[in-house]
Each structure stands twice: as C-alpha cells, then as structure tokens.
Chain A
Amino acid sequence: MFILSAFLLRAQIIGKSELTKTIILTDSSINRRLYLPITKGMAYIHFFFKVNVSDGGVTVNIEDPEGKQEGGFRVTADTEMEENGEKGSKGQMTHEVNFPIQGNWLILLKSKHASGTLSYEIKLN
C-alpha cells in the first residue's frame, strides 16, 4: 500500500533485489524518481539503462545518498536525418558500484516529448 501510494506521487521505492522495466515513450514527458534503499552489507548495485529515441530527449541520472552524481547520460533526437540506415539516437549505460554507501540511492528518469523506449535493469546483492 505504501509503495502504491509512493508510485502515485511519481516516486518509487525499489524493494526487490532485481528490477527490470521497459517504458514505451510516445511523445512522452515523464519525471520519475526511483529510490533504491541500500543497507549495510550490500556488495554491489548493478545498473543497466538503454534508451532509443526517434524524437525528443531522455535523461537518466544516478545519485548516491550524499547527492554525488554517480553517472548518467542524455539522449536527444532532433532530426530525422538517416545515418547508417538508422535514425534517432541511442544511449546505453552499464555501471556497477561495489560496496555502495548506505542510504537511498536515487535514479532520475526524465523525458521531454520523447518517442522511443527506455529500459532499465537494476540488480542488488
């Protein structure tokens, strides 16, 4: 119930050890905050993000509990110019944090009039 309420507030607390999701974007503007509670003794967090856009822009950011930027990227597609047979833009990030700091890690997912897909996979151990 608490997690459902949090989701309605456009935030989500990830309580599972593994989370995989794909978001289909259709001229979408989203602003999602995923909170990842890390407790003592956790050995690593594995992040994987993949974004394909044909239009608009998507930003992915990871912040540690102390507010330090841990990683992130931005993908924008402003034209329909075809290069190499593929249009649009693509961003992909694989990042692993060993012995992460305790506290709530924050994943920010933002898009602005974006069309495409945003996938992520987060694993904890």
Chain B
Amino acid sequence: MLDSSWAKQVYICAIPEFNQMYTASDELITGRGVIDSAGYFTLKFSCKQEPLLYRLHVIKKSDPASTLIIGGKDENFVFFIAKAQDYIYLKHINKNMPLSQNDVQNTPANKELARLFSILNYSSNQKVRTDRERLKNQLIDLADSSSSQLVSLLAISNTFGLSDRQKERIANTVEKFNRQNPYGANIFEQYKKTGPGYILVIAALLLIVTGVFVIIAIQTRKKNTALKIFKTLSQRETTIIKFIADGKSNKEIAAELNVELSTVKTHVNNIYTKLNVKGRKDVLAYKALFKKYGL
C-alpha cells in the first residue's frame, strides 16, 4: 500500500466545519496510529453520538504530522463520516495512490460521501455551462435523496450560482433537517424560511374575510340607521327634503306645495330636529344617503 517513502503512521483529524476540510493543522489531529509491516492499522479515537466528518491522512517520512497533499499521485487523505460505536473499514482500491475516497465505503453515509466526491472531481474538468448546470442539479439531487444529513449539507455547500427554482428545492430539502447540526449553520441561515407558507396564506385569507365582514357590518349599520331616521320622516317632510336638495328656498317650496311659508318653515325645523342637523347643507348629505339606500 505505501512504499518506503511514507511514514508508518496514520492520523485522524476531526473536521468541525466544512471550511476546515482542507486545513492542515496540529490542532485538528485527534488520533494517531501505527501501520504494521503488512500495511494494516487499527486506530481508535473518541467520537460523538452524532455523525461527524473526519479526515484520515498519512505522511511522507520527511513531512510534519499535519501535512495535507491535495491532488496528484501523492494525495494523502480521505474523508469519512463516523459516530460513536461505528466501525470504519478502509480497503485499498486504487493501487496508484496511497489513499482514495473510494477506499471508505462500508457504511451508507460513506458510500454517499464517495459518490459526492466523484461528482465534484468529475466536474473540475468540465467547464461548459451545460455541465455546470448538470453539476448543480446532481448536487441538489444528492442533497435531497441522501440518507446522511451531513452528506446533504456538504453537497449543498458546494452549489453555486443557483436559480430561484434551485434555491427553492434546497430550501424544501433543508426544511426537513435537524437545525442543531453544526455543519449546517450557514446553510440554515441562508435558506431560512420565515415560517410555514400555508400559515401565512391562511392568515392573509382570514384577514381579508374579516375585513370584508367588517365593511359589510359597517355598511349595514349605516343603512339601518338611515332607514330608522327615514321612517321618522313624514311624507311631506320627505318631499320637502327633495326640494331642499334641488336648491329651492322655503318660499319656492311653499309655492310648489301651495302652502303657507310658515308651514314650510315648521316642516324644515322638524326635519333639522329629526336628522339632528343645523342647516340645509347637512340635509343634502342625508339626501344622498337616502338615495344610496334606495329610500
């Protein structure tokens, strides 16, 4: 598996955030092991109950413990997902490289992780726009279908330049996730929904319906009030209101009705009292109201 240029040591790094996946630092190293002469090693390290992302790496004899070689024939690491009590098995598949992501596939999450990396690695050589769209959709599909929330979040974190429809797909996927997942903080914030959409729709409908009912109630009350007032008027008074609305003076009204001027004045005062108004202008407003309600 490893030629003589490699040290017989293997290291495990805990990766607390996706942006530290490609960080070489002693602080990330959480476990160490020794590779025997047959190329085997067993390494135990502390794990949490929830699945976390780890990186296993080997080093050349001349290199420091925290060494990261990305790309090329000496790429020296693999990522894997593990939680407490898990048994992770590495089977060396690609003999041309010390380690390969396909070496770790004995759990469903790690199989999906390998699938994700194969998508990302293939895409780096395809730069035409249609392939970029295919890459985005592959990542979104994987995020939606993966049984591992961590793999889904990692797939989403590798998306870029999304359309509104694609963002909506991701938002719907993210909605089902456990918001306590530490790897998803930025993603949860980015795809945060203000609340269940249907609640907003129902609230808006209720508001509209309530508003309509309120308007109808007010209009009904106004009509009832107008009706009540109208019923207190005599036929003569109703006729005089019409003459007032036409702009006729008391004298003209008296001539029209062939009654005494004093009689008209009495009727007009009665009208003012019943309508609770002070002048002819106010009477006109009531005339309009009576007309509106067909009185």
Binding site for B on A (CB under 8 A): 66-79, 81, 83-84, 86-101
Contacts and interface: CB of A to CB of B under 8 A. Distances in A.
20 contacts: A66-B160, A67-B161, A68-B160, A69-B160, A73-B23, A76-B23, A76-B25, A78-B25, A81-B26, A83-B64, A86-B62, A86-B65, A87-B64, A92-B69, A93-B70, A94-B70, A96-B71, A97-B127, A98-B125, A98-B126
A81 B39 CA distance: 27
Given A78-B25, A89-B26, A97 B70 contact: no
Contacts of B27: 76, 78
User: In terms of DSSP, what is the predominant structure of the interface of chain A?
Assistant: strand
Contact of A99 (B7, B20, B69, B128): B128
Interface of B: 7, 9, 20, 22-27, 59, 61-72, 74, 124-128, 160-161
A74 B65 contact: no
Contacts, number: 102
B160 to A, nearest CB: 5
B72 A94 contact: yes
A100 B61 contact: no
Given A76-B27, A97-B124, A89 B70 contact: no
B64 A68 contact: no
Contacts of B25: 74-78, 89
A89 B64 contact: yes
Nearest to A78: B27
A86 B128 CA distance: 43
B42 to A, nearest CB: 20
Contacts of B59: 84
B24 A76 contact: yes
Given A92-B69, A99-B127, A73 B161 contact: no
